[in-house]
Amino acid sequence: MKRLNWLSMTAMVVLMALVVSACGGNGGGNNAGTSNSSDGASTSGEAIKISLLNSKGEIQTQLEEAAKTFQEDNPNITLEIMAAPAGTSPFERASTLYASGNPPTMMMLDTGDVEKFKDRILDLSGEKWNADAVENATKLTTFDGKNYGFPLAIEGYGFIYNKAVLDEAVGGSFDPSTIKTRDDLENLFKQIEATGKKALIISPMDWSLGAHFLPLAYAGQDRDMAEVDKFIDSLKAGTEDLSGNAVLNGLLDTFDMMKNYNIDKKSPLAGVYERGPEVLGKGEVGIWFQGNWAWPQIHDFDTANGEYGFLPVPISNNPDDFGNQEISSAVSKRIILDKEKSTPEQQEAAKKFLNWLVYEEKGQDFLVNQASIIPAFKNITLPAADPLGQSIQYYIAEGKSQESMSTLPADHWAKLGASMQKYLGDAGDRATLIKEIEEYWTSVK
Amino acid sequence: MIKEKEWWPRLKTRLLFTGPTLFAFLTVMIVPFIYGIYLTFTNWDGIATTHTLVGFENYGKVFQDKVFWKSFGLTLKYVLFTVILVNSVAFLLAFGLTRGLKGQNIFRAGFFVPNLVGGIVLGLIWQFIFSNVLVFVGEKTGIPLFSTSWLADPQKAFWALVIVTIWQYAGYMMVIYIAGLMSVPNDVLEAASIDGANGWTKLRTMTLPLMVPSFIVCIFLTLQRGFMVYDVNLSLTKGGPFKSTEMVSMHVYEKAFLSRDYGLGQAEALVLFLLVAVITLLQVYFGKKMEVEA
C-alpha cells in the first residue's frame, strides 16, 4: 500500500505539473519574442510574434495576405491575424481577451471604444504618421493630449445606387447631384418603379438602422460638431423635445417614404445583409442604404460594370438644408497597441507594421487596392480602388461631408436599432419610437 | 472505504483521489463564482483598470430593470412550453421505440443526432430553413403561414425557438426515457396483465409511477437548459425582431458586455442563478416524493 501510494503521488505531481505548464504554455505564445529564442528558431535577429485582432470581417483574407507580405519585408516578424466573430462588437472580443490575460498585440476597435482601453494601451503620439493623418482623424482618440489610436479607415454611408438601373430610369446618364430633396428622391423612386424594377431595399439589421440611419438625425442637427455634442448632452439631460425636432422628423418622413418603396415591404424585417448586395448588384433594385464597406459583396454580383455611387439621405424639401447634399463619413476603425502583456520588441514590431501600412508602397497598395480602404493619411495619394470609395472621396473633396456619429454609447445601435426595427415593421408608431429614443438617452450613464 | 485511522494519512489518501478534481473545481468554478459575487458590488465596466465599490446599488438596479424582468417572463413562458413539449415528444418517441418496431435502433440514433449538433450551428441551419426554405415553400404552394419569414414576427419567432429546442433536446431526453422504460420490471407488468389490466391501465398505474426518476432527471435537465438558453437564441433570432425574443441569459450578457455595465450584468446573473436554483431544487424535491418502489 505504502509503495503504491508513493507511486501514485509521484504520478499525480507529474500530472499536475503538466497541467500547470500547459496553462503557462498558452500565455507563452504571446510573448514568444523572448521565450522562443531557446528553441533555436532564429539565429539572426530575434523572432517576434505579434497578432492583430481584425474586426473588419470583409477584409480578413486581404489582411492575411498583407501579413504575409509584411513578413517577407520583415523576416523576423510573424504577424497573425485573429478574426473577431461577425456580429459581435470588437469591444466584446477585446475585453474578453484582456480578461483572459491574453490580449493580442494590436486590436482594431471602433472609435468610441478606444477611451475605455486607455489605461491598458500604448500612447502613439510619438509616431510619425500622426503628422500625416488627415484633419481631425485623431481628435476622438486623443485624451489628455495623447493619441492612442491609429486611424485605419475612413468610411462613409448613404444611398448606394446602381448606375445602370438609374440610367434606365431617368433615360440618360444619371447625375447624382440632381437629387437634393426628398421630393427629388421620391421622383427618382417612381422613375425606377416605372421601369418595372423595385426602387430600393432597406436592410433591417439593427446596426444598420441604429448605428447608421438614426444617427443621421443627430449629426444633421448642425454643421458644427460642438453644437451636435450639445444636442446629445441635452438628450441625456432629457431636456430635448424630440417630437418637435425638425431634423429627426424630416429623417423619419424620408424613412416612411423609403418604407413604401422597399422591395421587402411585405415582410420588412425578414431581410438579411447578404440580400442587399445581391439585389443591388443584379440590378433588381436601384438603391440600397449602406456604406462603402459593402463593395466587395456588391462586386460579386456586379452587373453595372462597376458603376456605383452614393446619394445623400435627404431630410427635407429644401435643397440647402444641412444633410441634403452631404454624405456621412468619418474615421471608423482604429488600431490600438497593447502595453500590458506585449514585450517592447512586440510593440516595436507592431509600430513597424503601422508605419509599413502608411509609408511602404506594399502597405499602401494593401490598404487602397486590396482592402478597398479609404486611408486617413494625406501622404497616400493612390485613388480609391472601388467606385464607392471614389464616391466618398469625391464628396469629401467637395466639402460635402457630414461627420458620422462615432462616439455614441456602446449599446446605442442594439437598443435603438431594435426600436427602429419596430418602426420599420409597423409594430410601433412614430410617437413610440421618439419616446424610446428619449428614454434611451436619459438612461445612458 | 478509507482504511487509515489517523487524520493525516486519511487526508492524504483523500487528496490523492479527490485532489485533482477539487483543484480544477475550485479554480474554474468556485473562485470565479466568488469573484463574480465580488464584482456585483462594483461599478466595473469590464475593461477599466480601476473600479469602485458601490455596495448593493446594482441589486437595487436589477429590480428596476424592466427589460430584465420582461425577458425573464418571456423565458418562463419559453421554459413552460419547452419542458412540456420536449418531455411529451421524448416520452412518446421512447414509448414508440421500445415496442419492438423494425429498425427501431436506427430511429433512436436518428432522433438523437440533433443533440450532437452544437447550438450555434443548429440555430444557423434553422435560420436558413425558417427564412429561406419555408418562405420558398410558402410562396410556391400559397400557404400563407409560410409565405413570410417566421423570424420576422415576434410571436412566430418565439415558436420557432420552441420548435428548434424540441428538435434539439427531444432525442436526448428520449434516450433517458428509453432507459427508464427498459428498467420497468417485466414481471410486474406480466402480473398486471394476468390480473386483467389493459395497456392503458398498465401504462398509467405501473409504468409511469415506476418511471418517476426518469421524469425527475429529464424535467430537471429541460428546466435548467430552458432557463439558460443562449446559443440557439443567439444564432436563430439574435433576440430579434426588435428584441422581442431576447431570453434572460442574452439580456444578462448584453448588460455586461454590450452596455458595458459588468457589475449590474453580474448582479443580474446572480439573481438569475438563485431563481433557477430555487425552481430546480423545488422540482427535484417534490419529484422525489412521487417516487415509488416496484
Same-domain check for residues A303 and A407 = yes
Looking up cell 457630414 gives A402
* The pLDDT value given to residue B22: 93
| Inter-chain CB proximity B152 and A267 less than 8 Å | yes
Same-domain check for residues A309 and A430 = yes
| φ and ψ at residue A287, rounded to 5 degrees | -140, 145
Q: Is the alpha carbon torsion for B171, B176, B177, B182 positive or negative?
A: positive
Q: Select the residue of B46, B48, B131 nearest A119 (Cβ to Cβ).
A: B48
Distance from CA of B13 to the nearest CA of A (A): 8
Looking up cell 462597376 gives A306
- Model confidence over B95-130: pLDDT tens digits? 888 887 888 888 888 888 888 887 788 888 888 888
| Inter-chain CB proximity A8 and B45 less than 8 Å | no
Cell matching residue A109 = 476597435
Binned at pLDDT 50, 70 and 90, residue B176 comes out as very high
Nearest CA in chain A to B23: A16
A150-162 vs A327-337, strand pairing mode: antiparallel
Share of chain B above pLDDT 90, in %: 29
Rg (CA), chain A: 25
Give me the number of domains chain A comprises. 2
Same-domain check for residues A361 and A433 = no
Say if A33 falls within a structural domain. Answer: no
Looking up cell 475593461 gives B47
Contacts of B66 (CB under 8 A, 6+ apart): none
Contacts of B38 (CB under 8 A, 6+ apart): none
Nearest CA in chain B to A100: B47
Looking up cell 427501431 gives B104
- Report chain A residues whose CB lies below 8 A from the CB of B149: 267, 269-270
**How many contacts does A have with B, using Cβ atoms within 8 A?**
83
* The pLDDT value given to residue A30: 41
Tell me the C-alpha distance between A281 and A311, whole Å.
16
Same-domain check for residues A343 and A421 = no
> Which one of A267, A274, A341 would you mutate to disrupt binding with B, by most B Cβ within 10 Å of its Cβ?
A267
Q: Is the pLDDT of residue A171 over 90?
A: no
Same-domain check for residues A140 and A176 = no
In this prediction, the answer to ipTM > 0.85 reads: no
* The pLDDT value given to residue B77: 93
Q: Select the residue of A266, A414, A419 nearest B254 (Cβ to Cβ).
A: A414
| Inter-chain CB proximity B47 and A92 less than 8 Å | no
Nearest CA in chain B to A424: B242
- Model confidence over B44-84: pLDDT tens digits? 887 777 888 888 888 988 888 888 999 999 999 999 999 99
Distance from CA of B269 to the nearest CA of A (A): 17
Cβ atoms of residues A328 and A216 within 8 Å: yes
Tell me the C-alpha distance between A183 and B59, whole Å.
52
Nearest CA in chain B to A411: B259
Element (H, E) at A72: helix A60-73
> Which one of B26, B47, B251, B261 would you mutate to disrupt binding with A, by most A Cβ within 10 Å of its Cβ?
B47
Cell matching residue B182 = 427498459
- Report chain B residues whose CB lies below 8 A from the CB of A418: 240, 242-243
- Report chain A residues whose CB lies below 8 A from the CB of B261: 445
Of the candidates B148, B106, B292, B269, the one whose C-alpha atom is nearest the C-alpha of residue B215 is: B292
Tell me the C-alpha distance between A234 and A78, whole Å.
49
Same-domain check for residues A271 and A126 = no
* The pLDDT value given to residue B24: 94
DSSP letters for B129-194: IIIIIHHHHHHHHT-HHHHS-GGGSHHHHHHHHHHHHHHHHHHHHHHHHHHHHHHS-HHHHHHHHH
> Domain range holding A412?
156-330+396-443
Cβ atoms of residues A358 and A129 within 8 Å: yes
Q: Is the alpha carbon torsion for A110, A115, A118, A123 positive or negative?
A: positive
Q: Select the residue of B16, B47, B131 nearest A8 (Cβ to Cβ).
A: B16
Share of chain B above pLDDT 70, in %: 99
Q: Is the pLDDT of residue A23 over 70?
A: no
Same-domain check for residues A317 and A431 = yes
Mean pLDDT, chain A, rounded, equals 83
Say if A223 falls within a structural domain. Answer: yes
Same-domain check for residues A343 and A321 = no
Of the candidates A182, A218, A180, the one whose C-alpha atom is nearest the C-alpha of residue A402 is: A218
| Inter-chain CB proximity B242 and A425 less than 8 Å | yes
Same-domain check for residues A112 and A161 = no
Say if A18 falls within a structural domain. Answer: no
> Which one of B242, B253, B257 would you mutate to disrupt binding with A, by most A Cβ within 10 Å of its Cβ?
B242
Same-domain check for residues A343 and A400 = no
> By a Cβ cutoff of 8 Å, what residues of chain B touch chain A?
12-13, 16, 19-20, 23, 45-50, 131, 135, 148-149, 151-154, 238, 240-243, 254, 257-261
| Inter-chain CB proximity B20 and A15 less than 8 Å | yes
Mean pLDDT, chain B, rounded, equals 87
Tell me the C-alpha distance between A347 and A33, whole Å.
10
Q: What is the dihedral of CA A94, A95, A97, A100, to 10 degrees?
A: 180
Same-domain check for residues A176 and A226 = yes
Distance from CA of A91 to the nearest CA of B (A): 8
| Inter-chain CB proximity B260 and A91 less than 8 Å | yes
* The pLDDT value given to residue A19: 55
Cβ atoms of residues A292 and A155 within 8 Å: yes
Say if A388 falls within a structural domain. Answer: no
A327-337 vs A401-403, strand pairing mode: parallel
Distance from CA of A171 to the nearest CA of B (A): 34
- Model confidence over A390-436: pLDDT tens digits? 888 888 888 888 888 888 888 888 889 999 998 998 888 899 999 99
Say if A43 falls within a structural domain. Answer: no
Distance from CA of A445 to the nearest CA of B (A): 10
- Model confidence over A73-124: pLDDT tens digits? 888 888 888 888 766 678 888 888 888 888 899 999 888 888 888 888 888 8
Q: Select the residue of A92, A268, A272 nearest B257 (Cβ to Cβ).
A: A92
Domain of residue A105, CATH code: 3.40.190.10
* The pLDDT value given to residue B85: 94
Cβ atoms of residues A260 and A192 within 8 Å: no
Please give the average per-residue pLDDT across A11-39, as a whole number. 48
Say if A62 falls within a structural domain. Answer: yes
- Model confidence over A201-254: pLDDT tens digits? 998 888 889 889 999 988 888 888 888 888 898 888 888 888 888 889 999 999
Q: Select the residue of A8, A116, A269 nearest B48 (Cβ to Cβ).
A: A116
Cβ atoms of residues B262 and B44 within 8 Å: yes
φ/ψ region of A151 (left if φ > 0, alpha if ψ in -120 to 50, else beta) reads beta
Share of chain A above pLDDT 90, in %: 7
Say if A30 falls within a structural domain. Answer: no
> By a Cβ cutoff of 8 Å, what residues of chain A touch chain B?
5, 8-9, 12, 15-16, 87, 89, 91-92, 94-96, 98-99, 116-117, 119-120, 204, 206, 266-270, 272, 409-411, 414-415, 418-419, 421-422, 425, 427, 445
Distance between alpha carbon B34 and the CA centroid of its chain, in Å? 24
Cβ atoms of residues B164 and B202 within 8 Å: no
Say if A192 falls within a structural domain. Answer: yes
Q: Is the pLDDT of residue A26 over 50?
A: no
Q: Is the pLDDT of residue B179 over 80?
A: yes
- Report chain A residues whose CB lies below 8 A from the CB of B16: 5, 8-9, 12
Element (H, E) at A41: none
Same-domain check for residues A229 and A306 = yes
- Model confidence over B229-279: pLDDT tens digits? 888 888 888 887 888 888 999 999 888 888 888 888 999 999 999 999 999
Distance from CA of B166 to the nearest CA of A (A): 23
Q: Is the pLDDT of residue A36 over 60?
A: no
Tell me the C-alpha distance between A384 and A376, whole Å.
12
* The pLDDT value given to residue B44: 84
* The pLDDT value given to residue A87: 62
Q: Is the pLDDT of residue A3 over 70?
A: no
Cell matching residue A440 = 434611451
Distance from CA of B244 to the nearest CA of A (A): 9
Domains of chain B and CATH, by start: 63-289 (1.10.3720.10)
Q: Select the residue of B50, B131, B258 nearest A89 (Cβ to Cβ).
A: B258
